[in-house]
Amino acid sequence: MEPIRFFNRQNGQIETEKVYGESFLRFSYANPLGALPLHAMVKRAAFSRWYGKRMDQAETRSKIAPFIETYHLDPADFADAPESFASFNEFFYRKLKPEARPIHSDAPAVFPADGRHLGFPKISAIDSFFVKNQRFDLGKLLADDELTSRFADGTLVLSRLCPVDYHRFHFPCAGTPGKTRQIDGPLFSVSPIALRRRLAYLWENKRTITRLESPELGLVLCMEIGATCVGSIHQTYTPDQPVGKGDEKGYFAFGGSSTITLFEPGAVKLSADLLENSAKQLELYSKIGTPMTE
């Protein structure tokens, strides 16, 4: 199977992703023999809770230093020293120093997370997602007829977080967020390895939706998508209290996952490099706080 490649906005290069747990993912989603354990165990919430609890154990601290070295993380960005974390999970959802992720002041909306991003200016026109002829089902994703109609011709950005990424997610613009609504579901992987086989994992998985009322951009939907080995999705914001662009919204416990940001029709124009690479089904790597829109 072809490797996962993405365009790195920081250096202007196409890179090949170093996938955490790659052999497990490829067996589960690309090998016919992986179908049985995938559906019998891996997709189930109990499996992810079990794995998350394992990562909460004190002995997992020994994994932190090798992980930092293998994936070339910079401890200077961390708000706390690596040796201060009580477990690998605590390190996984670490905070960063504010100066490590400056928020772009001019862009109307910024990426809500570190990750690899795909952007689509008109949701109803999406006909290719990682591979040709995979159509996006907004109705099943939102499970809300009114919102589905309102956003059908709107703009969508999928931000995929790998296990090696900073795992706190933020608000893409200023506004007032409401309460988060959770939609229960299984926990399949949302890696391209899995989504190339079945895009529907995005709207079948456990997910959350928050309505953000923005004075400048109208109603914005902020979603978090659960995935295999994501122990939980934690919201840290206070509903009905105004937030600034780039303010923290919450964090994922152990595992890779995704966020989805939806804008109403005509509310934003996505950045040129995001549109260019997405048209080639190539994700754009960029960090939280960098421009999502022009």
pLDDT tens profile 173-190: 999 999 999 998 887 777
Q: Are 216 and 174 in contact (CB under 8 A)?
A: yes
Report how far apart the first and last C-alpha atoms of the chain are (Å, whole number): 35
pLDDT tier for residue 38 given thresholds of 50, 70 and 90: very low
Q: How confident is the model at residue 255 (pLDDT cuts 50, 70, 90)?
A: low
pTM comes to 0.86
pLDDT tens for 64-103 read 999 999 888 999 999 999 999 999 889 989 999 999 999 9
Domains, in order of start, for the chain: 101-286 (2.70.70)
Residue 286: the pLDDT is 98
CB 246 within 8 A of CB 169: no
Sign of CA pseudo-dihedral 209, 213, 217, 219: positive
Q: What confidence category does residue 120 fall into, taking pLDDT thresholds of 50, 70 and 90?
A: very high
Give the residue numbers marked as catalytic: 114, 170, 257
The CA-based dihedral angle spanning residues 209, 136, 38, 190, taken in that order and rounded to the nearest 10 degrees? -60
If you average pLDDT over every residue of the chain, what do you get?
Answer: 86
What is the pLDDT, as a whole number, of residue 123? 95
Q: What is the mean pLDDT of residues 166-172?
A: 96
pLDDT at 178: 98
Could you tell me if residue 160 is left (phi over 0), alpha (psi between -120 and 50 degrees) or otherwise beta?
A: beta
The stretches of 88-200 forming alpha helices (DSSP H) are: 88-92, 138-142, 145-151, 192-195
